[in-house]
Amino acid sequence: MGGTFDPVHHGHLVSASEVMESFSLDEVIFVPTGEQPFKEHRRVTPAEHRYLMTVVATASNPRFTVSRMEIDRPGKSYTIDTLRELKRQLPGADLFFITGADVLPQILTWKDADELWSLAHFIGVTRPGHTLDRTGLPETGLSLLEVPAMAISSTDCRARVVDGKPVWYLVPDGVVQYIAKHGLYRPETARVDDVA
Ligand code: ATP
Ligand code: MG
CATH number at 57 reads: 3.40.50.620
Task: Give dist(CA 193, CA 181) in Å, integer.
Answer: 10
**Predicted local confidence at residue 143, as pLDDT:** 97
Q: Would you say residue 194 lies in a domain?
A: no
Residue 16 CB–ligand 1 contact under 6 Å: no
For residue range 112-158, list pLDDT tens digits in order: 999 999 999 999 999 999 999 999 998 899 999 999 999 999 999 99
**Predicted local confidence at residue 27, as pLDDT:** 98
**Predicted local confidence at residue 187, as pLDDT:** 78
Q: Would you say residue 193 lies in a domain?
A: no
Residue 17 CB–ligand 1 contact under 6 Å: no
Q: Would you say residue 136 lies in a domain?
A: yes
**Predicted local confidence at residue 42, as pLDDT:** 72
Domain count, the chain: 1
ipTM of the complex: 0.99
Which residues constitute the domain of residue 20? 2-182
Of the bound ligands, which one is closest to the alpha carbon of residue 13?
Answer: 1
**Predicted local confidence at residue 196, as pLDDT:** 44
Q: Would you say residue 85 lies in a domain?
A: yes
Residue 158 CB–ligand 1 contact under 6 Å: no
Q: Would you say residue 190 lies in a domain?
A: no
Q: Would you say residue 87 lies in a domain?
A: yes
* pTM for this entry: 0.94
Q: For the chain (length 196 residues), average pLDDT per consecutive 10?
A: 98 98 98 78 88 98 98 93 96 97 94 94 98 91 97 98 97 98 82 49
Q: Would you say residue 191 lies in a domain?
A: no
Q: Whose CA is nearest to atom 24 of ligand 1?
A: 11
Q: Would you say residue 196 lies in a domain?
A: no
Residue 171 CB–ligand 1 contact under 6 Å: no
